[in-house]
């Protein structure tokens, strides 16, 4: 049931399902590329046989999408505050869906790069979904964010694995796979077609389905509805005859005149009822027989209309300038950026640490084995998000969860390098006697337990921090600029996702050249992560209490 403010009494799960499908597809589109990047660059042949160039071209292709999103995120948020959330979401869904299908037919590196740039420029889906779910959830915002987190986590778990299964089928499954009979076969010429086409079509269908089923959540872009509109028209007459003209006649205003009318408090609070404004109640001046007086001067209808328009224009202009200078908005958005920086840095570092040989300070695990532990942690967050997170928000509040999560992140970052003390190097030479990695079966039971608990904690803490900070950003945002503020926060997070991987990768390389203790070499990059978590804690500590939420 819709409330007076447009929010829903409880989370409207039936209407939220299409949005969660879009969020799932967005997570898939963001994450599915990572296990394919190296193979794509090799297939394009742009790097030749130089492994250093391979890493460079792979990194550039990976970073173009978030960089493009950073450039245009604010614009799409600003636009959504004017034309609504649904059109911007549909544009993003169509662009990334079509771009994904085109990637399946791409055989050139620079064409792939162009497609990723263009799709990033037109994509602001995550910000729009945060706005729509927040506006739909009402007082059940924590539950809405829990659904949001589950959809993203599920996409990040399923997307990369399924993309890897569908990619390069002729190389993986041989000529038994259809259309792999000869070298010029379709799937030999376009080895990544199945992965990108399947998820591209799914993304397109999800975006179109959401556009057809989900109502517009931006309040002043929604029609009032026939019954509500007629009631407001009928209540224009107050008991004092407030809206009657001097001759006793009623103003010539119809339902169509007020169908899309929305009078909003400049402070960003609930919209004022038309009956409250028109009756003159509450302002001490009132109206009598169609006349209103201000400081002894009679105000005509024409003067009033022009005054309202002028006041509205001035208020809108002031709000446009003021929200960006708002301390709460900046603090909340920078806190969001710090959370994104910590997790993108940690997710970049942990595979490097896990795959490094024991004598070099790592755990000497294969990349796929590191991925297993990351999947265990991600899988645990699904029931946690649904069952525990909303209860914790209600009991402790979002700022408490961010502060506690920051401390947990600091402890985990500092503790991670010490896991190498539990690792043992067991060599399993490959055919060329070059690559030696321990298998999961070679790990000690204690290291198994430690890595499993570590993975669960880092993912659960991520759910607490990300879902809570989204709510904090919403609490800081003026309603009239909800889309712009959320997109500003998303832009900062995207910028951190561009800066983070390259920075910690470079730091890892530089620390590896330090002579002396391998523990020192490995620990310094994780100290950087710990300092980022400390910055998260400080920002959450100084955040004012009115940004906290327990709903």
Tens of pLDDT along the chain (551 residues) come to 334 444 444 445 677 889 999 999 998 888 888 778 888 888 999 888 776 677 678 878 888 888 899 899 989 999 998 899 999 999 999 999 999 999 999 999 999 999 999 999 999 898 898 888 888 877 778 888 888 888 988 888 888 888 888 888 888 787 777 777 777 788 889 999 999 999 999 999 999 999 998 888 887 655 444 454 435 434 443 333 444 444 444 444 443 343 333 333 434 444 333 333 333 344 444 444 444 433 334 444 444 444 433 444 444 444 555 777 889 999 999 999 999 999 988 987 888 788 777 887 888 776 567 767 777 888 888 899 888 999 999 999 999 999 999 999 999 999 999 998 887 655 545 444 444 445 555 677 888 899 999 999 999 999 999 999 999 998 998 888 888 898 899 889 889 988 887 788 778 878 877 776 778 888 888 999 999 999 999 999 999 999 998 87
What is the rounded CA–CA span in Å between residue 166 and residue 196? 9
Q: Reduced to 3 states, what is the DSSP secondary structure of residue 335?
A: helix
Rg (alpha carbons) of the chain, rounded to whole number:
28
Cβ neighbors of 508 (< 8 A, separation 6 or more) are 349, 352, 525
Q: Which residue do the tokens 């407001």 mark? A: 232
What is the rounded CA–CA span in Å between residue 186 and residue 184? 6
Angle between helix axes 141-166 and 389-396 (nearest 10 degrees) is: 150
Do 1-221 and 326-551 come out as alike in CATH topology? yes
Name the residue ranges covered by the structural domains of the chain.
1-221, 224-259+261-322, 326-551
* Residue 269 CA: distances (Å) to CA of 117, 137, 190, 539: 38, 17, 54, 26
Q: Is 446 exposed, middle or buried (0-12, 13-18, 19+ CB in 10 A)?
A: exposed
Is the domain 1-221 a CATH 1.20.1250.20 member?
Answer: yes
What is the rounded CA–CA span in Å between residue 130 and residue 148? 8
Domain 326-551 CATH (choose: 1.10.340.30, 1.20.120.160, 1.20.1250.20, 1.10.1740.10): 1.20.1250.20
Give the E-state strand segments of 284-348 in sequence order.
287-288, 291-294, 297-299
Longest alpha-carbon distance in the chain: 101
Q: In sequence order, what are the beta bridge partners of 291?
A: 288
Query: Cβ atoms within 10 A of the Cβ of 141, count?
Result: 26
φ, ψ of residue 180 to 5 degrees: the values are -115, 20
């Amino acid at each position: 049931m819709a409330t007076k403010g447009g929010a829903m009494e409880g989370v409207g799960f039936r209407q939220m399902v299409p949005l969660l499908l879009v969020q799932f597809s967005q997570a898939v589109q963001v994450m599915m590329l990572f296990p394919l990047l190296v193979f794509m660059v090799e297939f394009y042949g742009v790097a030749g046989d130089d492994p250093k160039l391979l890493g460079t071209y792979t990194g550039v292709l990976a970073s173009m999408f978030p960089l493009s999103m950073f450039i245009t995120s604010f614009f799409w948020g600003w636009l959504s505050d004017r034309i609504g959330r649904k059109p911007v979401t549909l544009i993003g869904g169509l662009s990334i869906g079509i771009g994904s299908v085109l990637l399946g037919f791409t055989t050139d590196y620079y064409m792939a790069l162009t497609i990723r740039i263009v799709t990033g420029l037109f994509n602001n889906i995550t910000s729009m979904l945060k706005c729509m779910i927040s506006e739909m959830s009402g007082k059940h915002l924590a539950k809405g964010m829990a659904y949001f987190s589950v959809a993203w986590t599920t996409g990040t778990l399923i997307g990369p694995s399924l993309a890897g299964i569908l990619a390069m089928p002729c190389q993986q499954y041989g000529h038994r796979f259809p259309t792999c009979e000869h070298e010029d076969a379709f799937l030999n010429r376009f080895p990544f077609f199945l992965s990108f086409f399947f998820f591209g079509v799914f993304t397109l269908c999800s975006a179109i389905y959401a556009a057809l089923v989900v109502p517009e959540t931006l309040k002043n872009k929604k029609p009032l509805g026939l019954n509500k509109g007629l009631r407001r028209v009928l209540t224009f007459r107050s008991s004092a005859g407030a809206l009657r003209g001097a001759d006793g006649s009623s103003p010539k205003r119809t339902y169509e005149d007020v169908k899309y009318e929305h009078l909003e408090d400049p402070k960003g609070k609930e919209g004022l009822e038309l009956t409250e404004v028109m009756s003159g109640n509450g302002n001490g001046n009132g109206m009598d027989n169609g006349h209103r007086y201000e400081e002894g001067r009679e105000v005509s209808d024409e003067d009033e209309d022009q005054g309202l328009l002028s006041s509205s224009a001035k208020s809108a202009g002031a709000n446009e300038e003021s929200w960006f200078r708002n301390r709460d908005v900046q603090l909340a958005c920078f806190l969001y950026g710090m959370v994104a920086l910590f997790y993108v840095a940690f997710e970049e570092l942990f595979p490097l640490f896990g795959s490094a040989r024991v004598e070099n300070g790592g755990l000497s695990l294969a990349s796929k084995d590191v991925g297993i532990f990351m999947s265990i942690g991600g899988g645990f967050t699904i029931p946690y998000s649904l069952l525990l997170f909303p209860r914790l928000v209600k009991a402790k509040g979002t700022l408490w969860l961010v502060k506690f999560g920051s401390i947990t992140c600091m402890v985990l970052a500092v503790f991670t390098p010490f896991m190498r003390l539990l690792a043992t190097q067991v060599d399993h030479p490959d055919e060329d006697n070059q690559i030696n990695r321990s298998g999961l079966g070679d790990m000690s039971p204690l290291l198994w337990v430690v890595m499993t608990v570590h993975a669960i904690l880092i993912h659960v803490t991520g759910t607490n921090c990300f879902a809570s900070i989204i709510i904090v950003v919403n609490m800081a945002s003026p309603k009239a600029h909800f889309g712009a503020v959320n997109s500003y926060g998303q832009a900062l997070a995207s910028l951190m996702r561009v800066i983070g991987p390259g920075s910690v990768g470079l730091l890892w390389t530089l620390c590896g050249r330090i002579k002396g203790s391998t523990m020192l070499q490995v620990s310094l990059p994780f100290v950087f992560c710990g300092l980022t978590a400390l910055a998260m804690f400080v920002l959450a500590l100084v955040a004012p209490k009115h940004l906290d939420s327990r709903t």
